[in-house]
Structure 1
Amino acid sequence: MSIETIVIIVLLAAFIIWRLRPVKGIRNITTAQLKNELKDRNKQFIDVRTPGEFRGNSIRGFKNIPLNQLSAKAASLSMDKEVVLICQSGMRSSQASRILKKMGFQKITNVKGGMNAWI
């Protein structure tokens, strides 16, 4: 193997590890923990799946803001209240968490496993 190939592999591995690491300031909870938090009126529950996915199966109390619209619609969210994010598997809600964090939101919770774990 050439040195260039090794460098590329190392850089690729470092990038993947960097992308998968948890972001500081973002809380991760299970769906079991979510069940205990659903009645908290001081939290904003956001489902970042597509409208079709949301119509097919959703959790009462969640508002649908698709991931591709989150940046544009984030102004409709209160920065003072915790934002709880869910998607189908936890990947899009993790991305949404990063987006909101970069926008200055401080209280962000991601539901691990998403709707797949809820069912």
Structure 2
Amino acid sequence: MEQWITWIALVLMAIMIFRFMPKKGVKYISTKELQPLLERGDVVFVDVRSASEYKEAHIPNFINRPVGSYLGDLPKDKPIVVICQSGVRSNKACKELVKLGYTDVTNVRRGMNGLKAA
């Protein structure tokens, strides 16, 4: 019985590690590195938090596309920067964008929480 519990624990750990590992094709930046990008006009900024989170506080350059929304209509010829509250949902959205064929995708580590801490 202990052997089964050990195997199940190992499988669950492997799944968690795989789920939160950086995705090939996704760049990661800090909130400090985000600041100069906000001045550029050739970047698409996407906030994947819920509509209510976005309404409560957001960065003006970002459009709101909650996780689960269709992202395939974003321009493929421009860099895309994705943010959420902590970086988890934006990482998921970045992985989805890469699956859809986007090649210049960046996730903001620590998300809005990182902005508050800075």
TM over 0.5: yes
- How much has 1:78 moved relative to structure 2? 0.6
Equivalent in the alignment of 2:55? 55
Equivalent in the alignment of 2:21? 21
- How much has 1:98 moved relative to structure 2? 0.8
Change (3 A) 1:79 1:5: same
Please tell me whether residue 6 in structure 1 is matched to residue 3 in structure 2: no
Equivalent in the alignment of 1:101? 98
- How much has 1:76 moved relative to structure 2? 2.5
- How much has 1:97 moved relative to structure 2? 0.6
**Secondary structure of residue in 2 paired with 1:63:** strand
What is the aligned-residue identity percentage?
37
Aligned residue pair count: 116
**Cα displacement string for residues 16-38 of structure 1 (whole angstroms, at most 9, x for unaligned residues):** 11112111111110111000110
Structure (1/2) with the larger helix percentage: 1
Which consecutive unaligned segments of at least 5 residues does structure 2 have? none
TM-score w.r.t. the length of structure 1 is: 0.91
Equivalent in the alignment of 1:110? 107
Determine the C-alpha separation between the residues in 2 that align with 1:68 and 1:88. Answer: 15
Please tell me whether residue 84 in structure 1 is matched to residue 81 in structure 2: yes
Contact kept? 2:67, 2:93, Cα under 8 Å: yes
Runs ≥4 residues deviating over 3 A: none
The one-letter code of the counterpart of 2:27 is R
- How much has 1:102 moved relative to structure 2? 1.0
Determine the C-alpha separation between the residues in 2 that align with 1:37 and 1:18. Answer: 29
Which consecutive unaligned segments of at least 5 residues does structure 1 have? none
**Secondary structure of residue in 2 paired with 1:84:** strand
- How much has 1:52 moved relative to structure 2? 1.0
**Secondary structure of residue in 1 paired with 2:72:** helix
